[in-house]
């Protein structure tokens, strides 16, 4: 039987680089969510990630590009889930879309607060490439709307408004859940909370009623 190659005790450079990027992105997302883009410095991100400050610029080119990459990763994840779900063949693709967006956002716990904080900060300038990526995110909703029988009034809806009608409640639900869970811990008493699946089911039902002929 062939023996295994002896371990060098160090991970390949590519693996270390991947872990470093992941640590930086996770640390930055939390800081952007907690403090906002402008109040978060590269030094803060590096310290939270446990890496040398120069590695932030090396891997991402700067704070703005890092912010873009965090958004881009979430959008790409949602697009991947949409491809795996085969929305074109779903009976109710709008409900599947709600599930996809919920899964993508729930897998990045700091994404919702990060996006909401940016919306509340008019001085935070969204980079052009980030805006393009977000419009691509909205294109998923537009594609779904093109494949379902819309009631007459719904045909006049702006796809971007429909998109925000899905994403907005999801962001607020995920944030509210974290707040209420923290409050429950401090109060040392249980708090009744719907699960994400329950909320997604309700939101999907409401969307179908709003879009489809009765």
Sequence ranges of the domains in the chain: 66-211
> Cα-Cα-Cα-Cα dihedral of 157, 128, 144, 116, to 10°?
-70
In the predicted model, residues of the chain with pLDDT beneath 70 are 1-11, 121-127, 188, 191
Q: Is 128 buried (19+), middle (13-18) or exposed (0-12) by CB count in 10 A?
A: exposed
Cα(108)–Cα(170) distance, integer angstroms: 13
127 CB neighbour count, 10 Å cutoff: 13
Q: What pLDDT is recorded for position 27? A: 96
Best CA proximity match to 112, nearest among 204, 193, 34: 34
Q: What pLDDT is recorded for position 3? A: 41
Fold of 66-211: Tetracycline Repressor; domain 2 (1.10.357)
Cα(53)–Cα(51) distance, integer angstroms: 6
**Global confidence as pTM:** 0.81
């Amino acid at each position: 039987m062939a023996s295994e190659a002896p371990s060098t005790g160090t991970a390949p450079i590519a693996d270390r680089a991947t872990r470093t990027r992941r640590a930086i992105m996770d640390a930055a997302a939390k800081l952007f969510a907690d403090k906002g883009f402008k109040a978060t410095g590269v030094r803060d991100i590096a310290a939270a990630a446990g890496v040398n400050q120069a590695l932030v610029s090396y891997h991402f080119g700067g704070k703005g590009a890092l912010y873009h990459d965090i958004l881009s990763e979430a959008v790409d994840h949602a697009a991947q889930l949409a491809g795996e779900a085969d929305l074109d063949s779903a009976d109710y693709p709008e409900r599947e879309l709600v599930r996809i967006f919920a899964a993508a956002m729930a897998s990045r716990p700091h994404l919702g607060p990060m996006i909401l904080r940016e919306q509340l900060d008019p001085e935070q300038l969204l980079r052009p490439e980030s805006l393009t990526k977000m419009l691509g995110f909205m294109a998923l909703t537009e594609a779904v709307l093109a494949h379902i029988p819309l009631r007459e009034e719904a045909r006049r809806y702006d796809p971007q408004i429909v998109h925000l009608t899905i994403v907005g409640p999801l962001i607020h639900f995920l944030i509210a859940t974290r707040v209420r869970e923290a409050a429950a811990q401090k109060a040392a008493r249980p708090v009744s909370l719907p699960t994400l699946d329950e909320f997604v089911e309700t939101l999907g039902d409401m969307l179908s009623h709003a879009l489809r002929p009765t």
